[in-house]
């Protein structure tokens, strides 16, 4: 059975009186109770957990997971939202034209720094009117910008300057799976660049948000979003009583608003962890030898 079938079948439950019907798990009291308990445990400090285990007669020593030994704890979050040029044809080769990132300390729950560059496309050099109207990025802006390879090198230097991956561990956080799994992947193919190791896995904020705030989120949204598996950026902000700051579809403004949501999650003591990755068929490609199509895993 394929993964798609497994995911679909999770929503099929047997009702003896009316046959088979689709019932989203979040509507069942047992799932709501589990979500509440998970949130309660996530907010418990280590001393409280050890004391609770002692009271329940449970061994509190535990085993440290291998990925914790390897990566320790993420001390920084890097929030990205890349803009690409837009056009309708199926075979159109999309290119990244805006590269923003916001660095947040998970210890202090504050913004440390931002990275922001526009990019000059090399395949489709003229932006469509739709793209300009949607993103607010003008033709003159991209014409005066550097290419993706140069901007990406700047980004790597910026990461090194902040000690990301050396002095500090970090996690990429995105609004959905496509910034890394589609747009960055396609751009590395266009640029004959090896897909970067730092982007092999990331935190899909929509999943993290929905899991942590699930009872509150579904109560806030009522019935209109019952069939929506994960909330979008505007919905997440609205659920927290926040308004979008800046211009919608601006990459840097989207990244800043993603950071605002994650800061709220950190202050609410949510457990933010990597929940998606890309698997490159045939392993890592070498520069000037683009990888075979990759596939997303959760």
**DSSP letter string over 33-65?**
HHHHHHHHHHT--HHHHHHHHHHHT--------
Q: From CA 137, how far away is CA 127, in angstroms rounded?
A: 9
Sign of torsion, CA 118 82 173 240?
A: positive
288 is catalytic: no
Compute φ and ψ for 225, nearest 5 degrees.
-115, 20
Q: What stretches of 119-233 adopt beta strand conformation (E)?
A: 170-174, 201-204
Say which of 190, 220, 225, 249 is annotated catalytic: 249
Say which of 65, 88, 223, 288 is annotated catalytic: 88
Q: From CA 239, how far away is CA 182, in angstroms rounded?
A: 28
Q: From CA 77, how far away is CA 99, in angstroms rounded?
A: 16
Asked if 112 and 124 touch (Cβ cutoff 8 Å), the reply is: no
Compute φ and ψ for 205, nearest 5 degrees.
-60, -35
68 is catalytic: no
Asked if 94 and 100 touch (Cβ cutoff 8 Å), the reply is: no
239: its two tokens: 């659920």
- DSSP state letter for 175: S
- DSSP state letter for 183: I
Q: Give the containing element (helix H, strand E) for 297.
A: strand 294-297
Q: CA 215, 217, 219: angle at the middle one, nearest 5?
A: 70
User: In which residue are the tokens 């950071």 written?
Assistant: 259
Q: From CA 121, how far away is CA 196, in angstroms rounded?
A: 20
Give the catalytic positions in this structure. 88, 249
């Amino acid at each position: 059975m394929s993964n798609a079938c497994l995911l679909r079948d999770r929503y099929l439950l047997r009702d003896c009186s009316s046959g088979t019907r689709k019932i989203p798990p979040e509507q069942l009291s047992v799932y709501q109770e589990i979500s509440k308990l998970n949130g309660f445990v996530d907010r418990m400090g280590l001393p409280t957990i050890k004391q609770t285990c002692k009271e329940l007669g449970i061994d509190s020593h535990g085993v440290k997971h291998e990925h914790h030994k390897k990566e320790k704890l993420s001390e920084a979050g890097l929030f990205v939202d890349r803009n690409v040029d837009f056009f309708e044809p199926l075979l159109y080769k999309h290119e990244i034209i805006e590269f923003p990132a916001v660095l947040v300390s998970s210890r202090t729950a504050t913004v440390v720094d931002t990275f922001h560059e526009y990019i000059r496309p090399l395949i489709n050099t003229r932006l469509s009117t739709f793209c300009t109207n949607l993103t607010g990025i003008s033709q003159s802006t991209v014409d005066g910008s550097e290419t993706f390879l140069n901007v990406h090198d700047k980004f790597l230097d910026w990461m090194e300057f902040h000690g990301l991956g050396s002095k500090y561990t970090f996690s990429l956080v995105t609004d959905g799976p496509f910034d890394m799994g589609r747009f960055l992947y396609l751009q590395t193919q266009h640029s004959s660049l090896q897909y970067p190791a730092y982007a092999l896995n990331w935190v899909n904020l929509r999943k993290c948000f929905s899991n942590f705030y699930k009872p509150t989120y579904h109560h806030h949204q009522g019935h209109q979003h019952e069939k929506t598996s994960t909330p979008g950026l505007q919905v997440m902000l609205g659920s927290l009583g926040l308004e979008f700051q800046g211009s919608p579809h601006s990459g840097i403004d989207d990244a800043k608003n993603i950071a605002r949501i994650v800061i709220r999650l950190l202050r609410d003591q949510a457990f933010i962890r990597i929940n998606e990755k890309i698997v490159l068929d045939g392993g890592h490609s070498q520069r000037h030898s683009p990888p075979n199509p990759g596939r997303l895993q959760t």
